[in-house]
Structure 1
Amino acid sequence: MSSQQVEVLVVGAGQAGIAMSEHLGAQGIPHLVVERDRIAERWRSWRWDSLMANGPAWHDRFPGLEFDVAPDGFAGKEEVADYLVAYADKVDAPIRTGVEVSSVRKLDGRAGFRVETSEGSIDARFIVAATGAFQKPVIPPLVPETAGLRQIHSSDYRNPRQLPDGGVLVIGAGSSGVQIADELRQAGREVYLAVGPHDRPPRSYRGRDFCWWLGVLGKWDMATPPRGAEHVTIAVSGAHGGHTVDFRNLAATGITLLGMAGPYEDGVMTFAADLRENVERGDANYLSMLDEADAYVVRNGVDLPEEPQARVFGPDPECVTNPIRSIDLAAAGITSIVWAVGFAFDYGWLQVDAFDEDGRPRHQRGVSTEPGIYFLGLPWQSRRGSSFIWGVWHDAKYLADQIAIQRSYLAYEAPALADR
């Protein structure tokens, strides 16, 4: 394509772009989805080999198609990517792959936007940025490249064989950090895991997955995170058939737990004295969910088996009772660092007045402050579940409705004066 016009241009063909296309198509709204790589590429190339989805197959999916795995099972990364490709085909999404968007600018003197791509320009009345939140891997500038360590982000980690021989420091205690640390330890590596503030829900309780409990307790529909928890990670795992993350158990396997990573100087890395506090706060989060679940069972007379062992913790390991505050990495045999500390937004291609001073989208449920621009796939976009496959589907429906409303206004023609 050298130059063309479309009504709605959707940028990104991951779970957000596919869901957006389904709802636009259902309303008969002309649109085009462009993707610089393959459909659902980041599930394939930005995930480690053994990654399993964190939600069971019965829950984290689009309404119109089931996964080809057991309902209570967890899909692998390739199965998720294949599922999204199949869904795009099912809804006949008009997707063009291999098309990279370099800029989006407001048209002068008329509605719409000029989009420059690797295959020419496109004029669009509406733009949906469906690239999601996981755009730019973050590696804090703590350890210089001259330190002689292999440093990679979790999005570049594939398997233990990828790293040089020696110990590994994993920084980040969310789902990615704990699963990577566990895999490395099982591969025989010496592993250190820096643990920051986190939520630690039970994988299952009284015979129900935590996704079910979040649903019946109304937590998926929370509109905003609890105060102070906007950036708290969630330690949960779908690996090995799904299990509750317990940092004491990880320590029992030989992983050395540390507090939050701090400054690095002359080969020595320091760690905050917050390990016990972070573990105990995770425990409190875990126990509070059990309390709410128990109260729900009593209040509603639900016949679910009691599970008293779920409240029993093992003893605190030595690394918690006597925390390590600094490590000479070379002396400890650590040769690599895996940074599992998340991602930053990267909307450099979207050159419109739709961002705050920190580059974060200004929006209300995905409707931008810049008329005609929409965001999809953001954490907490409308509710807690917005980052999940099923959650983005509902957010996409809302945005399609908003676009339809705007199109109806634009189609309005006032009656002639003689007809009034």
Structure 2
Amino acid sequence: MTAKIQHIDTLIVGAGQAGIAMSEHLTRQNVPHIVLEKSRIAEAWRTRRWDSLVANGPAWHDRFPGLEFPNVDPDCFVKKDSVADYFEAYAEKFEAPVHTGVEVHSVTQEQGVSGFKVVTSEGVYQAQRVVSATGPFQTPVIPAIAPKNPDLYQIHSADYHNPEQLPEGAVMVVGAGSSGVQIADELLQSGRKVYLSVGPHDRPPRSYRGRDFVWWLGVLGLWDAAANEPGKEHVTIAVSGAFGGKTIDFRKLAKEGMNLVGRTQSFEGDHAIFGDDLAANIREGDQNYLSLLRQADEYIAKNGLDLPEEPEAHQLLEDPDCMTNPILDLNLSEAGVTSIIWATGYSTEYNWLEVDAFDEKGQPDHHRGVSKAAGIYFLGLPWLSRRGSTFIWGVWHDAKYIADQIVIQRQYQHYPDQA
């Protein structure tokens, strides 16, 4: 017997922040839809993050407009489980049609049939539109250079939870974006000897002259930058809400005992080989930091704001020995390194989306989330429409735009019934 095909206007894949935001806007515009989630709502926040993780933006900022975080200081950085609870509460608030525990196996477009055939673990759907809300953090990436040494405990940052899970000994953390630097700092605070491999990065101040950096990016219009700068597509952002929120200062971390090295290039036997770029990477991060301070000072002067001066923020510590005499070759055994944590990002996985919606590199081909394949949409990707697109509030605004486009297409599709 042929399984019954269920028909739906719009099918959303993923119930993280992107999927929940998308569902809210479609609900507001009375668009029939469902959200399919292979695990639980906001599952990644619960199980694919380390135990002590907090949001990188303050509670007043990193949220959807329709709901505040309950029982927290607006300026605090919310714990990861509370963020997951928030999305669950938000979905309940407007009764989001989320089906959890459902995996999407394939999305195909058949000749002579309107819309898309969506094969899932709970049955088959025929959807007029499909929104991929699976986000950018899908498949953890460990580079091919990782040593094939069974004596080394190696995990991706997605699988790191706390210092206690690692064997005794020193730890090498590869990657100094938000995840890598926070994990390295936690390990250092726990008493571990830590080597942190630092590549190119942006390094905004956590706060300046009484305002968090997210506020500065807002008033300076930097969240709304419509395109990434050439050459900075893979540059990470070193910022942290940990320990109440603090500016990442690599010189200070070195002074506290962290061993900084340049970008990891290769492994030769028991040796890790690093590029001679540590000083350059840190100084480029300094320029990013100082540039934002200058822009903030100019904004204050131009608008006559009464905000406290902070001249000490412009002063940098002396270059530590690791910058002036960098380690280029590290014998892991002699250094006591028993673990490597790869904070090296993620790749996207779209094998299930069998439609012509991708470019020659296999990446989504879209404009503000509307793909070149009619009826296919992407949400939650970096720089989807602007710099803020991967942040909670940015996803919400991107979802509103996509929902509006879906409504427009529905009007065309239903003509002349609505005439």
TM-score band, normalised by shorter chain = over 0.9
Q: Go from structure 1 to structure 2 and tell me whether the alpha carbon gap of 1:374 and 1:315 turns closer, same or farther (over 3 Å shift).
A: same
Equivalent residue number for residue 206 of structure 1: 209
In 2: Cα distance, 1:15 partner to 1:258 partner: 35
Q: Is 1:342 the counterpart of 2:351 in the alignment? A: no
Question: Deviations for 1:287-340, whole angstroms, at most 9, x for unmatched residues?
Answer: 000000000001111111110010111111111110000111111110110011
Question: Deviations for 1:177-220, whole angstroms, at most 9, x for unmatched residues?
Answer: 11000000111111000000000000000000000000000000
In 2: Cα distance, 1:354 partner to 1:223 partner: 21
Equivalent residue number for residue 284 of structure 2: 281
**Unaligned 5+ runs, structure 1:** none
The residue type equivalent to 1:63 in the other structure is P
Name the SS for the 2:395 alignment partner: helix
Name the SS for the 2:246 alignment partner: coil
Q: Is 1:185 the counterpart of 2:177 in the alignment? A: no
Equivalent residue number for residue 3 of structure 1: 5
TM-score (norm 2): 0.98
1:285-364 correspondence to structure 2 within 5 Å:
285-364=288-367
Aligned partners of 1:2 and 1:119 also within 8 Å = no
In 2: Cα distance, 1:177 partner to 1:146 partner: 22
Question: Deviations for 1:91-130, whole angstroms, at most 9, x for unmatched residues?
Answer: 2100000000011001221220111111111110000000
Task: Give, in angstroms, the shift of residue 231 of structure 1.
Answer: 1.4
In 1: Cα distance, 2:147 partner to 2:304 partner: 58
Task: Give, in angstroms, the shift of residue 147 of structure 1.
Answer: 4.6
In 2: Cα distance, 1:405 partner to 1:33 partner: 21
Name the SS for the 2:333 alignment partner: coil
Equivalent residue number for residue 45 of structure 2: 43
User: C-alpha root-mean-square deviation of aligned residues, in Å?
Assistant: 1.3
1:16 aligns with one of 18, 26, 40: 18
In 2: Cα distance, 1:394 partner to 1:4 partner: 30
Equivalent residue number for residue 119 of structure 1: 122
Aligned partners of 1:352 and 1:370 also within 8 Å = yes
Aligned partners of 2:62 and 2:392 also within 8 Å = yes
In 1: Cα distance, 2:85 partner to 2:100 partner: 15
Name the SS for the 2:149 alignment partner: helix
Aligned partners of 1:134 and 1:344 also within 8 Å = yes
The residue type equivalent to 1:12 in the other structure is G
Equivalent residue number for residue 148 of structure 1: 151
> Sequence identity, in percent?
63
1:385 aligns with one of 384, 388, 391: 388
Equivalent residue number for residue 411 of structure 1: 414
Task: Give, in angstroms, the shift of residue 414 of structure 1.
Answer: 8.8
In 1: Cα distance, 2:249 partner to 2:418 partner: 68
Name the SS for the 2:257 alignment partner: coil
1:78-227 correspondence to structure 2 within 5 Å:
78-227=81-230
In 1: Cα distance, 2:116 partner to 2:207 partner: 47
Aligned partners of 2:35 and 2:99 also within 8 Å = yes
In 2: Cα distance, 1:250 partner to 1:387 partner: 28
Equivalent residue number for residue 61 of structure 1: 63
Equivalent residue number for residue 36 of structure 2: 34
Task: Give, in angstroms, the shift of residue 225 of structure 1.
Answer: 1.4
The residue type equivalent to 1:115 in the other structure is V
Name the SS for the 1:161 alignment partner: helix
Aligned partners of 2:64 and 2:393 also within 8 Å = yes
In 2: Cα distance, 1:250 partner to 1:191 partner: 10
Name the SS for the 1:146 alignment partner: coil
In 2: Cα distance, 1:407 partner to 1:31 partner: 13
Aligned partners of 1:345 and 1:359 also within 8 Å = no
In 1: Cα distance, 2:17 partner to 2:156 partner: 22
**Unaligned 5+ runs, structure 2:** none
Aligned partners of 2:6 and 2:125 also within 8 Å = yes
Question: Deviations for 1:264-284, whole angstroms, at most 9, x for unmatched residues?
Answer: 111111000000000000001
Tell me the number of residue pairs that the alignment of Structure 1 and Structure 2 aligns: 416
